[in-house]
Amino acid sequence: MNGSPTDEFPLGRGLRQGDPLSPFLFLVAAEGFNVLMEALTRNNLFAGYKVGNNALSTVSHLQFADDTLILGGKSWANIRAMRAVLLLFQSLSGLKVNFTKSYLVGVNVASSWLSEAAMVLNCKVGSIPFVYLGMPIGGNPRRLSFWEPLLNRIKSRLSGWSSIHLSFGGRLTLLKAVLSSLPVYVLSFFKAPTGIVSSIESLFNCFFLGESVDHRKISWVDWTSVCRGKEVGGLGVRRIREFNLALLGKWCWRLLEDRDSLWYRVLSARYGMDEGRLRGGGRQASDWWRVVHSLSRESWFSDHVSRGVGNGRTTLFWSDVWCGRVSFRVMFNRLFELSVFKGVSVSEMWQLGWGEGGEAWRWRRRRRRRLFLWEEELVGEIILLLANVTLQVSREDKWLWTLENSHSFTVRSLYNLLTIQPQVVSSVDFSSIWHKDVPLKVVIFAWRLFRDRLPTKDNLLRRGVIPHDSRTCVAGCDSVESSSHLFLQCTTFGSVWHSIYNWIGVLVTNPLYVPNHFHQFGFSGGPGKKRRSILQVIWFATVWEIWKERNNRVFTGKESPVFKVVDRIKSISYMWMKAKHITLPFNLHGWWLNPFTMLGIG
């Protein structure tokens, strides 16, 4: 206590689990184990795992919170050292090591030796692959069996939800907020095979449609349309394949930035360096490294990475993109082949002198003494490019991600690049569909309506669900029940719009198509963002109540007169507005009279 040793004293109070200070206190205690392991390794009492042919890097242990991984060579000295350090850590920290939950895993080690060593450590014998921090270690991500735990986890989560009782809005919310997040952790480290991507998206699609094992439904909207961005007519659900690549792109970025980290030093010792870059490793490389190394060379990543040069000490003159949009190695490939200084930095080339006649322009020996004329012209071009380059000695070099204004890599920017799609040709601005005052289930209903993906009788006939003589409108007007007819041209439901026009005091002629009507109705009250927003709420409420009335007539045989349908439209539009704007300056009666007058914009 206060720098002097004292007797042990009992703790009267402690920290509860979940206290913000608790993890920091645990890290202080866990740091003691790190100190003990480093002391063992330093004094040659424990032999860690040596990486690379020349043993350039040694790893003895990895720690994350209360999960610890000890790595070492096969020897009884290591087994005794591990048991001693664990028991010593128990005595010093007061924390207990749960040996019954601990595993001893061997790579190319006889099972009999592992069993004897496990008895000494009083732990269990594990096997590869094993799980560490929720990640399968040692498995082959190219095999479908590797991904079964993830698929089972998604199915388990889906089994607890009854999608048949959820609206499209509810299912979309769960899909984007919960289901899409389940595979993120694994996808951020491993590249999923095409079959697994299809399986995951199939599970997501079935849930969104409300399907179950014994209850199939018509797929009214293809999954590609669902995964488009909202601004181009989709629902904004993430595509698994592109999101997987964007997450792995983070590792490609870290290869450039985190060169002082342990994992980079291990890769460097294992595969070696070539002109300032990690080698691929060929067939001897791990599956993970082969994927990351190949992705780092893809154009969608490399074309958007450049080097911000300060003092030029860590920027490769030929290989890095630092002057212009292409590296000098590509722009002046012939000069790179001839150059003596292939792997030097910008700072070193500047010190050699890159002006005309400078020492930087030294070429490897050839039979001919001088460059060809066209090669001398290339030298002149590169000298001209370097004429205005000035190094800043006080500023360090840094990597720049050109897709972000902050020049820092983000998964979002890379995902947006990978999912760039042409604008959907339509008369409707799809961003206006996502109205903040309208329930999500109604917005998705309108989204399906614009795409003509509602189960109208005309659409059901096209899919062979109903016979030809059952396609007429439910209102009894003897016309084919299409979306345009039902919501605009029907003599019964069309009269609903006339009552709405009289209520809000506008005059509109119904066009032939629903998207055109939405655009026309929104601007029928004149300019003004507030007025247009209110008209859109009323439009959503009208088509929603028309569809509900249609379904009541089809499935229950009950009919409501037009004036009751209009009354429901007035009530539901008021409730939507009241739910989002609690302090509305009027009541339901005032809204029924005229919504614009009550809002003071009439």
Tokens of 50: 């040596």
On whether the CB atoms of residues 417 and 301 are closer than 8 A, the answer is no
Burial zone of 193 (CB within 10 Å; 0-12 exposed, 13-18 middle, 19+ buried): middle
3-state secondary structure of 36: helix
Question: Of 441, 570, 557, 577, which Cα lies nearest the Cα of 496?
Answer: 570
Whether the ω angle into residue 129 lies within 30 degrees of 0, i.e. cis, is yes
Confidence of residue 213 (pLDDT cuts 50, 70, 90): low
Return the pLDDT at 601.
53
On whether the CB atoms of residues 350 and 313 are closer than 8 A, the answer is no
The residue behind tokens 């109903």 is 466
pLDDT digits (tens, 9 = 90+) for 40-58: 999 999 999 988 877 678 8
Return the pLDDT at 428.
63
- Phi, psi for residue 308 in degrees, rounded to 5: -90, 110
pLDDT at residue 210 above 90?
no
pLDDT at residue 425 above 60?
no
pTM: 0.86
pLDDT at residue 127 above 70?
yes
3-state secondary structure of 278: strand
pLDDT digits (tens, 9 = 90+) for 452-497: 999 999 999 999 899 988 889 988 888 899 999 999 999 888 889 9
Q: 3-state SS of the chain: helix, strand, coil percent to 5? A: 50, 5, 40
On whether the CB atoms of residues 553 and 540 are closer than 8 A, the answer is no
List Cα–Cα distances, 12 to 8, 9, 15, in angstroms: 13, 9, 11
Return the pLDDT at 508.
76
pLDDT digits (tens, 9 = 90+) for 536-553: 999 999 999 999 999 999
pLDDT at residue 9 above 70?
no
Across 87-99, average pLDDT: 86
Across 223-250, average pLDDT: 92
Crossing angle, helix 240-257 and helix 411-418, to 10 degrees? Answer: 130
On whether the CB atoms of residues 93 and 102 are closer than 8 A, the answer is no
Helices (H) and strands (E) in the chain, counts: 26, 12
Confidence of residue 583 (pLDDT cuts 50, 70, 90): low
Eight-class DSSP state of 103 = E
Distance of CA 192 to the CA centre of its chain: 14
On whether the CB atoms of residues 93 and 84 are closer than 8 A, the answer is no
Q: How far apart are CA 130 and CA 103, in angstroms?
A: 9
Return the pLDDT at 13.
63
pLDDT digits (tens, 9 = 90+) for 365-420: 765 567 888 889 999 999 999 988 889 988 999 999 999 999 999 999 999 999 98
pLDDT digits (tens, 9 = 90+) for 59-75: 999 988 778 899 999 99
List Cα–Cα distances, 290 to 91, 192, 300, in angstroms: 44, 14, 17
pLDDT at residue 499 above 60?
yes
pLDDT digits (tens, 9 = 90+) for 282-303: 888 899 999 999 999 999 999 9
pLDDT at residue 599 above 60?
no
Return the pLDDT at 231.
83
Q: How far apart are CA 263 and CA 173, in angstroms?
A: 37
Burial zone of 227 (CB within 10 Å; 0-12 exposed, 13-18 middle, 19+ buried): buried
> What share of the chain in percent tops pLDDT 90?
49
Does 522 or 110 have the greater pLDDT score?
A: 110
Domain parsing of the chain, residue ranges: 22-127, 144-238, 305-401, 430-598
Q: What is the largest CA-CA distance in the chain?
A: 99
pLDDT at residue 424 above 80?
no
pLDDT digits (tens, 9 = 90+) for 175-187: 999 999 999 999 9
pLDDT digits (tens, 9 = 90+) for 12-31: 666 676 777 777 777 888 88
Does 214 or 123 have the greater pLDDT score?
A: 123
Return the pLDDT at 524.
76
Question: Of 458, 433, 435, which Cα lies nearest the Cα of 530?
Answer: 435
pLDDT at residue 516 above 60?
yes
Question: Of 589, 582, 598, which Cα lies nearest the Cα of 530?
Answer: 598
Q: How far apart are CA 521 and CA 541, in angstroms?
A: 13
Count Cβ atoms below 10 Å from residue 559 Cβ, excluding itself. 14
- pLDDT mean across residues, the chain: 87
Tokens of 248: 């792995």
